Structure 1
């Protein structure tokens, strides 16, 4: 998921897969329909931008490197949460 603040939208361009060994693999989505742009209200785009700024400040406080490629929604250590957990949360 890439966030474009200039024209508020989320661009889905990669898919995360958790392998049996616990590692993550990122690939292009399998279908054209899976590659998409999702328009966002400006208020949500600003909220996501603030969240990224907070995560950057936390990384600096922890003396960790922050990358623009870091995940917006992650565990405190920066790793991705298990998709099964997210599915349970949003059911």
Structure 2
């Protein structure tokens, strides 16, 4: 095995670990995204509220797509259904 094969293997392992951790801690990540969005909204005095809300939603979606969420009863990884 060459150096590049070793690096590719390690990179894949790290990606899987990060994905697993994102799945286990999705609630904390969502809370931090909401907190950051709230702080930005406050700093901009609500001028960009719609854009901030849209960006936060996109960020949460990206984390959900990346994460391997542990299976929970209900089949949605323990998340509330989106309206």
Q: Between the two structures, name the one with larger relative contact order (CA 8 Å, sep ≥ 6).
A: 2
TM-score (norm 2): 0.31
TM-score (norm 1): 0.28
Structure number with the higher helix fraction is 2
